[in-house]
A and B are shown apart, each in its own frame.
Chain A
């Protein structure tokens, strides 16, 4: 199978290049950027389970990132004098995030589409606000600082970004395996069935409540992992890091890369991270060096996202590397009248169908 072999060779080559990266590029800022990008890839992989697989539009995903980060900050710092090791916290925080995924998912079970989006948007606002206002426990706007440093075999991570880079690399590799395993499984099919037609899914004997809650829980657990790594590396958490724009950023990564497709999601998040944390700051410093002191490209970040999203919607709505079904959806749906007619009939007949 040459196609499969080519894929394997590509994956190995990318893997080796990523492993070698910190040795080739010794600029700590750039390794730090890669580690941050890795955290966002984890977030995007998690959100892809909720939005891409199960079709549940979640606009408050940053809430789980916040919960993961704050879990580490509260359970591995001087804050309460609790010092759970970093490696254990990866499990603990993803578990905590998963539990909150279920808690926040449960009230939304009956909602779909726009309504679900609005409620999750609300949760996305409530969670950082709660961390902001629980000053007694979280130091409010100041956040929690001096978090415990991870160490491996007695050696502390220190201020180098390299160990964090490798940790995110391993977590992403695990995340890819988990996500693709899920996609090709009984549960993955149940999610996709719910995404396609919830009523028909119930007629297959799918417990839609359990399936949706497991999507919320598993999706959130990824951001628990991302939160721990992110907080430990930054050595600080504060509520303003988890605002609505983070949720939008991660969702944009999915849209850009191709919702439902794991490779697409990874590339989409890398490209946006690159623009966000590398291209814009770098071009700003270039501009400053050239004497354009008042120019700050990072201020145009959201305008740029907006332009990218509009261009994507116009020219490549299925994303850079779409999953097969998204491609089919966007390029054939409009030309096929039967599906539209069918949907019409369903909506008009759904309320009372004697």
Chain B
């Protein structure tokens, strides 16, 4: 089976700093895969490489066997990769509904003339996207906040809205960058539930997370990164007992982070 996402020997160098060193791994379609690692291990760099914010110095990234090399962020998003951000990046002064509708941008057809004249096709499309936004807001539990500005929502809701915005374009693959960051235990629990429901929609999920409870609960496979290198990979309960992983997280006497 073609993996949903495959990274092969991906290397990223910033100036003299090797942020990622020949990283290879796969995400199977329909699975929930987590990537963990201490701060500065290179996790967000992986996301930025997948979404075309950075180009890899070496190596290749494939989505369902199709190389993403040379594609820009917008093109990659249009292929069906959606993401959330470590620091929530919503469109702060747009309503929750407009945020989700904007997430549908790449799947919409209205061109300049349609937008200018509000042609019947444009109206019909707007209506259906609006309806879809409503459905997604309900899906993440924000149906009552449709008209609120994104910035006026509580933090946990902002994270949910970002997920709804990501889902609006019917992605194949959803990248979640520390989705549980800053959440209280109750919010975390409903996030775990939400992630399960997203997968049930047929979306493959690849997430970066610090929160071990969440990682152990939701993910089927875990990749562990430290100093830009993969140090372990496998089922959560296996990875958890891995000596190198424990070392990377707790450090040793010589002070390796």
Contact = CB atoms under 8 A, between A and B. Distances in A.
B139 interface: no
Interface in A178-202: 178, 181-182, 184-190, 192-193, 196-197, 199-202
Contact of A190 (B14, B77, B105): B105
Interface residues of A, number: 42
Given A204-B106, A325-B149, A352 B17 contact: yes
13 contacts: A181-B115, A182-B115, A184-B126, A185-B118, A193-B105, A200-B90, A205-B105, A218-B116, A332-B151, A345-B87, A346-B89, A354-B40, A354-B228
Contact of B87 (A190, A204, A342): A342
Contacts of B114: 185-186
Contacts of A190: 102, 105
A26 B72 CA distance: 60
A185 B98 CA distance: 10
Given A197-B89, A339-B151, A354-B228, A205 B74 contact: yes
A342 B155 CA distance: 11
A346 B103 CA distance: 21
B47 to A, nearest CB: 9
B149 A328 contact: yes
Contacts of A139: none
Contacts of B51: 203
Q: Which of A325, A326, A332 has the most CB of B within 10 A?
A: A325
B19 interface: yes
Interface stretch (B78-86, B184-192, B195-203, B210-218): B78-86
Given A181-B118, A185-B110, A199 B14 contact: no
Contacts of B110: 185-187
B88 interface: yes
B106 to A, nearest CB: 3
A328 B152 CA distance: 9
Given A185-B122, A346-B87, A205 B106 contact: yes
Contacts of A187: 110, 112, 115
A-B pairs with lowest CB-CB distance, top 4: A205-B106, A325-B93, A185-B115, A205-B77
Contacts, number: 135
Contacts of A203: 51, 73-74, 77, 82-83
Given A181-B116, A199-B53, A192 B98 contact: yes
A328 B93 contact: yes
Contact of B98 (A189, A218, A326, A352): A189
**Which of B90, B91, B98 lies at the interface centre, i.e. has the most chain A CB atoms within 10 A of its CB?**
B91
A206 interface: yes
Contacts of A329: 93
A187 B102 CA distance: 9
B179 interface: no
Contacts of A207: 74
A196 B94 contact: yes
Contacts of A48: none
B1 interface: no
A206 B149 contact: no
Contacts of A345: 87
B236 interface: no
Nearest to B125: A186
B41 to A, nearest CB: 8
Max chain B Cβ within 10 angstroms of own Cβ: one of A193, A206, A207, A354 = A354
Contacts of B117: 181
Nearest to B73: A202
Given A185-B122, A202-B74, A197 B45 contact: no
Contacts of B57: none
A208 interface: yes
A336 interface: yes
B89 A354 contact: no
A329 B106 CA distance: 28
B94 A336 contact: no
Nearest to A192: B94
Contacts of B106: 204-206
B91 A197 contact: yes
A345 B85 CA distance: 12
A342 B115 contact: no
Given A182-B116, A186-B122, 14 more contacts: A184-B126, A185-B126, A186-B115, A186-B126, A190-B105, A192-B91, A196-B94, A197-B91, A206-B105, A329-B93, A349-B87, A354-B17, A354-B40, A354-B42
